[in-house]
Structure 1
Amino acid sequence: MKKVIISVLMIISAGLSAQSQGNQLRYVLFLGNSYTAANNLPQMLSDIALSTGNTVVFNSNTPGGYTLQAHSTNQETLSLIESGGWDLVVLQEQSQLPALPIEQVEHMVFPFARKLDSLINISDPCVETLFYMTWGRKNGDSENCPQWPPVCTYEGMDSLLALRYKMMADSNMAILAPVGRVWHYLRTFYPGIELYASDGSHPSLAGTYAAALSFYTAIFRQDPILVTYNASLDPETAGYIRNAVRLVVYDSLASWNIGLYDPAAGFNAEVNGFEVSFANSSLFADQYEWDFGDGSASALPNPVHIYNASGDYEVRLVAGHCNMSDIETQVIHVLPTGIEMVSSSLTRIFPNPGKGIITVSGRNGFLKGYSSELMAIDGRMIIIRETGTMTDSMTMDITGVQPGIYLLKVKDLADNTVLIQKVIISAP
């Protein structure tokens, strides 16, 4: 079965940002079988999204009883994947196969999940694969029970489905809509809600509503409690289901890999005088925009930048992939060549901030004297002083020096150790 439905954006939630609620558009392709087709899950997802001011444009191919293996050679499925333009492609396996013995799953399921995921990424590397974790049958799998006892009960079958779908998602770096886990929560805490159709396998209207809310939360990363569409369910039942999805999915997005593969910006900087080498440590990114804080920029992954003057520079890296990005900002301290800041435990300046006279005490005093320089942050010398006599500390008259941030360089003449500290000169 195939349908194309476009939901027109009608409502924009007041008082909420677009990122947290409303005004988002997603193109979603569903590839599955009658579990997806029942009660028109894609349309219900669209209606749910519309109630929060979001839009879902979807297409689907869901022949009854279809497996991922069958989809991997189905011409309609392949054409839909190749047509492109999707944000997400949903993959749903036949309801029993993932719960079979692992040897069978490794032969009948995993290879075709990988094949479809590869075809999706070849068609468009920006598309995200979303696995539809289904549920155990109401009273277990009676068909496979004689030769595989773990599926004789709902609990046994359901736990195996959850495990195998998580394995598929992890191995393909994909995300999950954990519908089966939501059903498990509802069966445990709200046993009066009938999730199954009369066959004890397919979803009832309430079961599809739980699935659609799970997809909504996984796709938009928004709180399902704010959904106002009830899908003809009584408000109390719909509210219980929304709360279950909030607890299982929204409160644990990372557990279902949601956001795990988003770009994460990061970098380290090695300062050598005015030259700074940047080592990019970003994850899941292939596009980079550097702002070095001095009006210069770069799109290289690991740039080297030369500053024209000493100072503190705020460096910003935007790391992106497709239409997603992340930002890392660091302050880089650029000092004249050969000068490094040292721990304040090695020397003490007081008062700091100060005005008039400041005092500097060395680590063990200055046995053979010292030389000192007060420098502007750009390296200009403001005050130079030297003495060849032993002293426990030194003083410097900063009267008349303009308020601001300076560098005080003190050289211990006993061992030529150079101490560098920031000095803040306050207004008189």
Structure 2
Amino acid sequence: MKMKKNVSDLILSVSLLLLSITQLQSQTKRVLFIGNSYTAVNNLPQTIASVASSVGDNLIFDSNTPGGYRFMDHATNPTTLQKIGIGNWDYVVLQEQSQYPSFPDWQVEQEVYPYAQSLNNAILNANPCTETIFYMTWGRKNGDAQNCPILPDVCTYLGMDNLLNARYRTMAQDNNAIVSPVGAVWRYIRQNFPSIELYQADESHPSVAGTYAAACAFYTVIYRKDPMLITFNSTLSATVAQNIKNATKLVVYNNLAEWRVGTYDPVPQFNFTISGGQVTFNNTSLRASSYIWDFGDSTSSTESNPTHTYATTGTFAVKLRASKCGIEKHLIQNVTISQLNTEIPANNDANLLIYPNPTNATLNIQQGNDLTINSLKIYDIFGKLIIEETQNFNQINVENFTTGVYIIEVVSDEKIYKNKFIKI
């Protein structure tokens, strides 16, 4: 029992080490921020960059954030469109004016959604690999007093925040985009750490703590890393920063799929059929543009749906790596070969002896007394001609052949002799 416990502890330690290595791998991301003062105040992009740098990551950013700007303003703004058109962004962040997404359905459908779609289309037209991030903002501290008389739903923080949350989720879903749920992080902080002041005196724009909470949320979404790794605390106390990071972990990092992070990654999947040593792979992967197969016997392929012939029996771990836009995922399945293709073509004859068989480099050919070879051909198991020889009939170099089963065919006068050999 002692031995088993030690092995289990070792496996757990190795797993945690591998997770730590993955978490610590440095990443560089290019992000464009399109919004208004909610992004500009306290320089949110630079705060995210400082947060990222503290974990060993790099953020290259640009922005266009005129005060009070709406999506409809950005959709025709030359500076916005020029920056989007550069196209070398990993992400483009879209932040609507703070009140508009909480307006009545008819108004949002006319004045918000169409322009969100227009901006997203411009982003994808510039680079289909760029992902759009919708910046979910927050309800005002005590609701929207300006619009409360005509819109009762926004009279309270919760009422306004609920509408913003729902509308940003809708925009992300409709545009195959992701969400940076800053508003959701703020709500958790308000409920669980009420002493942390997220607002400036105007009860709308973010304080330093509010911007830091936004930066932690964005860092987690962009880099997909645990915010507890962050060591940059801005000008906040260690306790306040720690509480904000903990809120981000619970709301964002532990629920990345809820915010559609990773939803559009490639998904490797495949099935296969076995006939003797020959395996036909059916690639059913989603959202991938390129593939690398490792057949588990030191051979590989970049075909979408390859067919592979194994030279030996056994169980092979087949790995499919599916990639798109620099994101790679892999899947491993075991393929068990219990018997090889043993059928020999017609006219196999003892007059044609080949050895060693299997071979990894040289194939020797011994002719019987009644056999004079005029020509020699080698085919793969699928009937494709690999080489044709009209002079050298005693020894063939097969070192560069891929692993598999081959058919050797010789012509003697008007008779054809065939035999099989395996390249290992």
Instruction: Quickly name the TM-score band, shorter chain normalised.
Output: 0.7 to 0.9
Distance 1:296 1:52, change over 3 A: closer
**What corresponds to 1:171 in structure 2?**
174
With the length of structure 1 as denominator, give the TM-score of the two structures: 0.72
Query: Which is further off, 62-71 or 101-110?
Result: 101-110
User: Shift of the alpha carbon at 1:271?
Assistant: 1.9
**What corresponds to 2:186 in structure 1?**
183
Which secondary structure state, in structure 2, belongs to the residue aligned with residue 191 of structure 1?
coil
1:314 corresponds to which letter in structure 2?
A
User: Shift of the alpha carbon at 1:301?
Assistant: 2.0
**What corresponds to 1:262 in structure 2?**
265
**What corresponds to 1:373 in structure 2?**
none
Q: What stretches of structure 2 of length at least 5 have no aligned partner?
A: 1-16, 343-357, 359-424
**Alignment partner of 1:37 is 2:40:** yes
Q: What stretches of structure 1 of length at least 5 have no aligned partner?
A: 1-13, 340-377, 379-428
Q: Distance in 1 between matches of 2:337 and 2:228?
A: 50
**What corresponds to 1:55 in structure 2?**
58
User: Shift of the alpha carbon at 1:146?
Assistant: 2.5
With the length of structure 2 as denominator, give the TM-score of the two structures: 0.73
User: Shift of the alpha carbon at 1:16?
Assistant: 8.0
User: Shift of the alpha carbon at 1:300?
Assistant: 2.4
Of 92, 106, 109, which aligns to 2:95? 92
**What corresponds to 1:302 in structure 2?**
305
1:327 corresponds to which letter in structure 2?
H
Report the count of equivalent residues.
327
2:56 corresponds to which letter in structure 1?
G
More helix by share: 2
Structural mapping, 1:192-207, within 5 Å: 192-207=195-210
Q: Distance in 1 between matches of 2:186 and 2:54?
A: 23
Q: Distance in 1 between matches of 2:162 and 2:333?
A: 45
**What corresponds to 1:141 in structure 2?**
144
**What corresponds to 1:221 in structure 2?**
224
Q: Distance in 2 between matches of 1:161 and 1:188?
A: 18
Note if contact 2:312-2:340 (Cα within 8 Å) is conserved in structure 1. Answer: no
- Percent identity between matched residues is 51
Structural mapping, 1:246-325, within 5 Å: 246-308=249-311, 310-325=313-328
Q: Distance in 2 between matches of 1:104 and 1:57?
A: 35
**What corresponds to 1:153 in structure 2?**
156
Which secondary structure state, in structure 1, belongs to the residue aligned with residue 22 of structure 2?
coil
**What corresponds to 2:362 in structure 1?**
none
Q: Deviations over 1:130-187 (max 9, x none)?
A: 1110000111112222232111111011011011111111222222111001111111
Distance 1:336 1:169, change over 3 A: same
Q: Distance in 2 between matches of 1:88 and 1:235?
A: 30
2:185 corresponds to which letter in structure 1?
V
1:210 corresponds to which letter in structure 2?
A
User: Shift of the alpha carbon at 1:337?
Assistant: 7.9
Q: Deviations over 1:175-230 (max 9, x none)?
A: 21110011111111122211111111111111111111111111112222222222
Note if contact 2:310-2:340 (Cα within 8 Å) is conserved in structure 1. Answer: no
Which secondary structure state, in structure 1, belongs to the residue aligned with residue 271 of structure 2?
strand
Note if contact 1:315-1:332 (Cα within 8 Å) is conserved in structure 2. Answer: yes
Q: Deviations over 1:236-273 (max 9, x none)?
A: 22222122112111121121112222222111112233
Structural mapping, 1:17-28, within 5 Å: 17=20, 19-21=22-24, 23-28=26-31
**What corresponds to 1:393 in structure 2?**
none
**What corresponds to 2:83 in structure 1?**
80
Q: Deviations over 1:41-61 (max 9, x none)?
A: 111111111112211111000
Q: Distance in 2 between matches of 1:108 and 1:181?
A: 24
**Alignment partner of 1:239 is 2:242:** yes
Q: Distance in 2 between matches of 1:191 and 1:293?
A: 56
**Alignment partner of 1:162 is 2:192:** no
Note if contact 2:278-2:341 (Cα within 8 Å) is conserved in structure 1. Answer: no
1:297 corresponds to which letter in structure 2?
S
Note if contact 1:22-1:52 (Cα within 8 Å) is conserved in structure 2. Answer: no
**Alignment partner of 1:119 is 2:122:** yes
Distance 1:336 1:237, change over 3 A: closer
